[in-house]
Chains A and B, each alone.
Chain A
């Protein structure tokens, strides 16, 4: 999967989503299509050189979500959650030495990542722990006006478990936009390749 650095900043400034008065202008902001295409295509090329055919579907799906998360603004909770899941999955499958090598490559590209062995193991353990706790974390208690179907939405949207209903709706909207862009991209790719 992608071991590249954090996504670049989006070209346009997004108004503060905590102010509903600007939801109109905020809603118009769409995910950055060039970055989506860039990340996904890069991942695709890498996948086809590396993975076996059997596991390719799963890998491509994960690459799709990762590229979606990278193309989105890092302020989005769902993008952070997706990238965290990807990182945790990677560290789960790798042994200690492989993780060291991979982390070294990553830190060369992205300084924010921890590179010391202690923090690395801590990261792995934290990642593993995070997965289990994320599943077991209770829903936030402040759900006053929230309909009962909201927890289904929480399961669907990545990172939606710990959010309030209000922000959950925001994240859902952004997630929907990115999902739609990703689907359009993949559909176009398929059409492009299948007609060659």
Chain B
């Protein structure tokens, strides 16, 4: 492969079921793809577990599509395996908590050295080996209790295109062989599987749509090995290089540069050189981000077309910036009152009192009270800043709301020691704010509540630190 990213070149070929599942679950694709990539990178060195995860990743997207419990478990297994490798990527795979039961029974058929060659076979770049390995796999699939699980796996593969599944799997494997071996294979790839890809496309498309029950799966399991064997040989004869049928797209590219760990299939009838592929990836990225922006900008749902969307976005950004300017003008006029109020009180008292009020009233503390406490808090920070240079305001993780319950009790004691005069001054304006709801901004109030509460708590924490230390 020309360019081996983090996931290795052979990752690409195994992703055929990913494309099938791509429409259904774009997230699953990434996780499964990553898993396959990991396997692709690892098969040269060691078999077994990585290949196992690769195989499971192969089936997991299809399984996710099918939506069965076992499938989810396999996917979770994959996700857990991938966890160490690719961080959050494995999390992209939708999964329920892994069940050890399935993990164990999936690993049993594969853990043994002889059978471990089976998943390896899917990646080994040898045309002849593929047939026998695949047959062994299918044979295992029909086999014992462990094999039953594998058969389910295999049958799920068949979901994507019954006879085509195994063939595609075998065909997928051939790609590294062909790429590594010779370049005339690509030409054969393009010409030969024309009809085959159509068949696979149809089956894949239909397979994705339906949700099979376990009963039918058993039947397909029996059918698939035989059909798979036939198809395999056909594929070998045509020198097909996989990755075709799994996706709904047809032709594969002769040189498939993996782009940003997102493996792109060239669509039917489209150019397959690396430049156009890169272009297509870029266009897809841009369209994804335009969709994001569409969600951000209000009132853009009806708008279609990138040019109009861009105009809307520009208008919205401009309007927001104008709003900031206007609000800062208003703030410069309004604000002096805040300063006056704040300077009169002892800041730490205000915070403590306010917290106690907040917790005792148990009302949904509105936006205003939080802002008020934050304003006080900010002045507190400044006062303390002159005393001792504060470090980076790296906030400790916001203490859970339960912590605030303990704080008011010393606060109340403290307040009583200070005398009641200040307390009355402080508390009288505060309760008046509680009833006030910002018109039209109640949603903003709810948004700001928890966050600002945590800010206040942080300030209180820091106040205590300064008071003590």
A residues within 8 Å of B by Cβ?
A: 4-6, 8-9, 11, 13, 15-16, 18-25, 27, 32-35, 37-38, 41-42, 44-46, 48-49, 53, 56-58, 60-61, 63-65, 108-110, 144-145, 147, 149-150, 152-153, 156-157, 165-166, 169-170, 172-173, 175-177, 179-180, 182-196
Contacts and interface: CB of A to CB of B under 8 A. Distances in A.
Interface residues of B, number: 88
B36 to A, nearest CB: 14
B307 A34 contact: no
A191 B441 contact: yes
Contacts of A57: 325, 328-329, 332
A11 B397 contact: yes
B307 A147 contact: yes
Contact of A15 (B88, B381, B441): B88
A73 to B, nearest CB: 14
B98 interface: no
Nearest to A70: B393
A84 B379 CA distance: 26
B344 interface: no
Contact of B332 (A11, A15, A60, A147): A60
6 closest Cβ contacts across the A-B interface?
A56-B332, A169-B289, A33-B451, A41-B378, A60-B328, A21-B30
A19 B259 CA distance: 11
Given A34-B398, A175-B317, A194 B448 contact: no
Nearest to A58: B328
A33 B458 CA distance: 13
Say whether chain A's binding surface is mostly helix, strand, loop, or mixed: helix
A179 B444 contact: no
A9 B381 CA distance: 20
B327 A183 contact: yes
B372 A192 contact: yes
Interface string B225-253: 00000000000000000000000000000
A25 to B, nearest CB: 8
Nearest to A21: B30
Contacts of A38: 374, 377-378, 393, 395, 455, 458
B371 A188 contact: yes
A153 B314 contact: yes
A179 B341 CA distance: 28
Contacts of B30: 19, 21-22
Contacts of A48: 335-336, 338-339
A49 B379 CA distance: 11
Contact of A49 (B320, B339, B390, B394): B339
B38 to A, nearest CB: 16
27 contacts: A19-B262, A34-B454, A37-B371, A38-B377, A38-B395, A41-B371, A41-B374, A57-B328, A147-B306, A147-B307, A153-B317, A156-B317, A156-B321, A169-B290, A170-B289, A173-B296, A179-B317, A182-B324, A183-B320, A183-B327, A184-B444, A186-B328, A187-B444, A188-B368, A188-B371, A191-B367, A193-B334
Contacts, number: 235
Interface string B314-350: 1011101101110111111011111101100000000
Contacts of A49: 339
Given A34-B451, A145-B286, A188-B438, 11 more contacts: A13-B88, A20-B289, A21-B262, A23-B292, A41-B371, A58-B328, A60-B328, A109-B389, A156-B314, A180-B320, A188-B441
Interface string B434-455: 0010110100110110011011
A172 B317 contact: yes
Interface stretch (B157-165, B210-218, B277-285, B399-407): B277-285
Max chain B Cβ within 10 angstroms of own Cβ: one of A15, A63, A176: A176
Given A149-B314, A193-B334, A21 B26 contact: yes
Contacts of A182: 324
Nearest to B396: A8
A173 B292 contact: yes
A63 to B, nearest CB: 8
B77 to A, nearest CB: 20
A187 B328 contact: no
B1 interface: no
A111 to B, nearest CB: 10
Contacts of A5: 392-393
A10 B368 CA distance: 24
A6 B296 contact: no
A160 to B, nearest CB: 10
A61 B452 CA distance: 22
Contacts of B394: 8-9
A6 B88 CA distance: 26
Nearest to B448: A33
B92 A22 contact: yes
A196 B311 CA distance: 40
B102 interface: no
A4 B393 contact: yes
Contacts of A21: 26-27, 29-30, 92, 262
A195 B329 CA distance: 17
Max chain A Cβ within 10 angstroms of own Cβ: one of B88, B311, B451: B451
B327 A187 contact: yes
B75 to A, nearest CB: 16
Nearest to A35: B395
